[in-house]
Amino acid sequence: MAFIDYYKILGVGKTASDKDIKSAYRKLARKHHPDLNPDNTESNKIFQQLNEANEVLSDPEKRKKYDKYGENWQHGEAHEQAQRQQRSQNSYSGGGAQDFGGGGDFSDFFNSMFGGGPPGGGAGGGRQQQRYRGQDLNATYQMSLRDAMESKKQTLTVNGKNIRLTIPAGIENGQTIKIAGHGAAGTNGAPAGDLYIKFTIPDDAEFKRTGSDLHKTINLDLYTAILGGEITADTLTGKVKLKVAAGTQSNTKVKLKGKGVPVYKKDGQIGDLYITYNVQLPTKLSAKQRELFEELAKS
């Protein structure tokens, strides 16, 4: 599995603060986001690596292990567990076993425990190799609200591996999908860990989402509100024509059934779109318009 220098990916030093890491990630993620580079394979790969780097370096515990163990950070817990076991054996037997916690080298530990056999070779002369399940991996994937309107096939690059998956329509912000067996490799024949992908869907400038329903505000001019009429409104699935009743008040809500977001993994079920009218008063009246309003006021 190729080692990725997370600090290099984000363009920051090892002493970078949490704020520096967050700032660097946001800047580079915007630059390489798939929406801005739809046909750029290399940019998409970099974007996934940025998410992976941010996932580790923005987590204090993961960053601590990464700084301590480098490319073997994912097996840091296994190393620490072996240290505890070794200290326990030394205490029981009065010493004589190799001490990984003292003068032992971390790379030697991986060669003996996770590599090509115990030091010194020879059948029966070394320690029985331990089997450790691979560590679970976490990744983030950012997509727009419009992307969530339909299922889509996507190839993600995580830890240097391309993973193909189908993202179901209706996935929500913060939702996590588990992909079994796509985490870090196990040691000595142990199973691999799992991959957890967390989806982030930023707020849309036009639509607010609550579950599978959408909410939108439409400005309505005074004359249409008073006299009634027909307007055209944008939805996430196209334009629709709406009839406005005469005398419509500001904050009036109308429901467009089935114009919301598909319900996650429930075929045929779609939320609704709720439109709120915001009646706008004219700010610049001509002399004639003002005269007409004054006559209305008198009547």
Task: Write out the two tokens for 256.
Answer: 């467009």
Query: If you average pLDDT over each of 134-143, 241-250, 285-294, which comes out highest?
Result: 241-250
Q: Beta-carbon neighbour count of residue 64 at 10 Å?
A: 12
Residue 100's pLDDT band, with cuts at 50, 70 and 90, is: very low
Query: b or e along 125-142 (b: 16 or more beta carbons within 10 Å of the residue's beta carbon)?
Result: eeeebeebbbbebbbbbb
Domain edges within the chain: 133-202, 208-298
pLDDT of residue 278: 97
Q: Mean pLDDT score of the chain, rounded to an integer?
A: 82
Top pLDDT among 295 and 83 is at: 295
Selected residue with higher pLDDT from 114 and 60: 60
CB 274 within 8 A of CB 254: yes
Q: Which CATH class is domain 208-298?
A: mainly beta
Q: Going by CATH, does the domain composed of 133-202 fall within 2.60.260.20? A: yes
Would you place residue 3 in the very low, low, confident or very high pLDDT band (cuts 50, 70, 90)? low
Whether the predicted pLDDT of 293 surpasses 70: yes
Predicted local confidence at residue 184, as pLDDT: 86
CA 141/CA 240 separation, integer angstroms = 32
Which pLDDT belongs to residue 86? 61
Give mean pLDDT, residues 5-15. Answer: 91
pLDDT tens-place string over residues 81-94: 666 666 655 554 45
User: If pLDDT is split at 50, 70 and 90, which confidence band does 185 have?
Assistant: confident
Bridge partners of 132, per DSSP, are 187
Residues 97-115 as b or e (16 or more Cβ within 10 Å = b): ebebeeebeeeebbebbbe
Q: 35-79: per-residue pLDDT in tens?
A: 788 778 888 888 888 888 898 899 898 888 888 877 677 666 666
Residue 189 near residue 131 (C-beta atoms within 8 A): yes
pLDDT of residue 119: 41
Whether 133-202 and 208-298 share one fold: the answer is: yes
* Confidence tier at 34 by pLDDT (50, 70, 90): confident
Is the pLDDT at 135 greater than 60? The verdict is yes
- Predicted confidence at residue 120, as pLDDT, reads 42
* Average confidence (pLDDT) over 195-216: 94
Give the CA distances from residue 254 to residues 207, 237, 291, in Å, rounded to whole numbers and listed in that order. 15, 17, 34
Whether pLDDT at 237 is above 60: yes
Alpha helices in 33-152 (DSSP H): 41-57, 60-69, 76-93, 106-113
Q: pTM above 0.75?
A: no
